[in-house]
Structure 1
Amino acid sequence: MSTLLATAIGIAAGLMGGPVEVLSMRIADGLFAFPAMLLSILVATIVGAGEVAAIASIFIITLPLMMRVFRGATRDVVHRDFVTASAVGGARGLRIAVRHVLPNIGGAVAVQATYAASIAMLIEGGLSFLGFGVVPPAASLGSLVQEGSAYLTVYPWLALVPGAVLAAAILSVNLVGDGLRDALDPRDERSMS
C-alpha cells in the first residue's frame, strides 16, 4: 500500500512541483521528525495493539522515505529530452507520468519496495516484542523472542533462534533488493562486472 501511494505522490510532486511538491515533502519531513519505533508505539497506543497497529505503523514509517526517493527520481527523469518532447507534442501530465516517468523509475520503485519490506519486518518484530504488535494466540518472531527472553539464562535458544530467523529474513530481503538494483540499473558499474 505504501509503495503504491508513495509512487503516486512522488511522481505527482516531481511532475507538478510548486505547492504539491512543497506540501508533500513537508508532510514527509513531519513524519521523519519522529523516531520509527516511537511513532509505532504512538500508533499502537491510538489504534490498540494488534495487526492493525502493525500495518498502520509500517505504512506511516515507510511512506515518507519512498515519497522522497520517488520524487527525486521523477525530478531526474522530467528534465530529460524525451519527456520535454512529449510535453511539447501535447501529452498531458498523466500520460507523461504513466508512459515516460513510471517506466524510468521502476528500478527505484522495486528497490524501495524490498527495502520497505525489510523495514516492515523490523517494525513488526519490534512492536510484537514490546507487546504492541501481534497478540496471542497469533505468533510473530518478535513475540517469540519476547517469550523466549524470560528463559534466556536456562534455554537461550528460545530467544536466539527466532531472533536469528528474523535477522536472516531481513538480510535476505535486503540482498534481493541489492540484486534488483544491480539488475535494473544498467548504468551501474557493478552490474557490468
Structure 2
Amino acid sequence: MSVTFPSPTPAAPAAPSAGRRRPRVPFKGDPLGRFGLFLLIALVAIGLFGPALPIGSPTESTGDRLAPPGDGHLLGTDELGRALLPRIVEGIRETILIATGVVLVATVVGVLAGCFAALAGRRVDELIVRATDVIFSFPVFLIAILVSVVAGPGRAAAMAAVFAVTLPTMVRVVRAAALPVVERDFVTAAEVAGASRWRLLRVHLLPNVRGVVIGQVAYAISLGMLIEGGMSFLGLGVQAPAASLGSLVGSGRLYLTIDPAYALVPGVVLGLAVLAFNLVGDALRRETDPTLEREA
C-alpha cells in the first residue's frame, strides 16, 4: 500500500495522581500541535455551523455562471450559477463527516481484531496478519476503485473504500502495540488466575494501547479524507447536487483558466484539513509515547 504509518510504541500505564487534578492545557509546549488543533476546530466549526450563516444555498442557482469572486459572491459561482462559498462549506462538512464516521467504526473493529490477534495464539495471529498483508499489497486508490466498481459510484462507495483501507492499518497498529503488553507479567498472572480473553482485552490491553489508538485515529481520518476526496474528484464518490471538497476540485479543474478559485480554494481547504489532522496526530503521539521525546 502506498501510504504508511509510523510504528507505535505502547503507552505506559498512567500513574494515579493524588488530590484534585488541574485543568489540562492541550499540547502544552507543542506549538505545532496547538496550531493543528486550532485549525481543526476552525474547520469543524465552519462545516457544522456555516450553513446557519447567511451565505446562501449550496444547491440554488443564481443564474450568474462562473462569476468571479466578489460581485455579491465572496468566492464566485460555479458552472451552474451556484455560489461556491456555501458549496465549499458543505464540502468541508461532507468530507470530514464521511472520513471521521467511517474511521471511528474501523477503529472499533480494528482495536478488537488487533487485540484478539495478540491474544489468540500463533495460528489466528498469522491468519489476521496475512489477511492484512493481502490488502496492503494493493495501492490505496486501486482498492478505492475496486470498491466503487462493486458498490457503484456514490457516498456509500466512498465510505466503503475508506473503511477497506483504514481497517487493516488499524489492526496492524493495535496488534503491534498489544503484543508487548501480552508478554508482561501482569497479563500472565491474570491468565493463570483464569481471566477470560475478553477480560484480558478490556482490563489489561485496552488501557495500554489507548494512547496509540488515539494518535492513529487522527492519521486515519486524514487518509480517509484523501481517499474520499480522490474518489469524488474522479466522479466515484459524492455525487451532485451534493458537494465534497474532492468533487469541487474535480469540477473546477475544467475552468482553471476562467476561474482559478473554483478549484484552488477547495483544494487548499482539503490540504489544510489533512494537515490539521496530521499535526494533531503527531502531537498525540508525542504525548503518549515518551520515547519520541528522548529520541528528539
Which TM bucket (shorter chain)?
Answer: over 0.9
Shift, 1:35, TM fit: 0.6
Verify: 1:104 aligned to 2:205, yes or no: no
The total of aligned residue pairs comes to 192
Equivalent residue runs for 1:17-28 within 5 Å: 17-28=121-132
Shift, 1:191, TM fit: 8.4
More contact order relative to length (CA 8 Å, sep ≥ 6)? 2
Verify: 1:37 aligned to 2:141, yes or no: yes
* Alpha carbons 1:10, 1:68 under 8 Å: kept: yes
Find the residue that maps to 1:150 and give its secondary structure: helix
CA displacement, residues 22-45 of structure 1 (integer Å, 9 cap, x when unaligned): 111111011111111011011101
2:278 is aligned, of 169, 174, 177, to 174
Structure 1 unaligned segments of length 5 or more: list them: none
Q: Which residue of 1 aligns with 2:250?
A: 146
State the one-letter code of the partner of 2:162. Answer: I
Q: Where has structure 1 moved over 3 Å in runs of 4 or more?
A: none
Q: Which residue of 1 aligns with 2:62?
A: none
For residues 59 and 119 of structure 1, what CA distance do their matches in structure 2 show? 11
Shift, 1:145, TM fit: 0.4
Shift, 1:156, TM fit: 1.3
2:189 is aligned, of 61, 85, 91, to 85
* Alpha carbons 1:148, 1:159 under 8 Å: kept: yes
State the one-letter code of the partner of 1:93. Answer: R
CA displacement, residues 149-169 of structure 1 (integer Å, 9 cap, x when unaligned): 011122212111111000000
Q: Which residue of 2 aligns with 1:190?
A: 293
Verify: 1:76 aligned to 2:192, yes or no: no
State the one-letter code of the partner of 1:134. Answer: V
1:67 is aligned, of 147, 151, 171, to 171
* Alpha carbons 1:183, 1:191 under 8 Å: kept: no
Task: Choose 1 or 2 for highest CA Rg.
Answer: 2
2:113 is aligned, of 9, 34, 39, to 9
Q: Which moves more between the two structures, 119-128 or 28-37? A: 28-37
Q: TM-score, normalised by structure 1?
A: 0.95
CA displacement, residues 9-66 of structure 1 (integer Å, 9 cap, x when unaligned): 1000001122211111111011111111011011101101111000100000011111
For residues 243 and 258 of structure 2, what CA distance do their matches in structure 1 show? 22
Q: Which moves more between the two structures, 94-103 or 14-23? A: 14-23
Q: Which residue of 1 aligns with 2:226?
A: 122
Structure 2 unaligned segments of length 5 or more: list them: 1-104
For residues 292 and 113 of structure 2, what CA distance do their matches in structure 1 show? 30
For residues 48 and 130 of structure 1, what CA distance do their matches in structure 2 show? 13
Find the residue that maps to 1:76 and give its secondary structure: helix
Find the residue that maps to 2:255 and give its secondary structure: coil
1:46 is aligned, of 144, 147, 150, to 150
Verify: 1:131 aligned to 2:235, yes or no: yes
Identity %: 49
For residues 143 and 234 of structure 2, what CA distance do their matches in structure 1 show? 13
Kindly indicate which of the two structures has a greater share of residues assigned to helix: 1
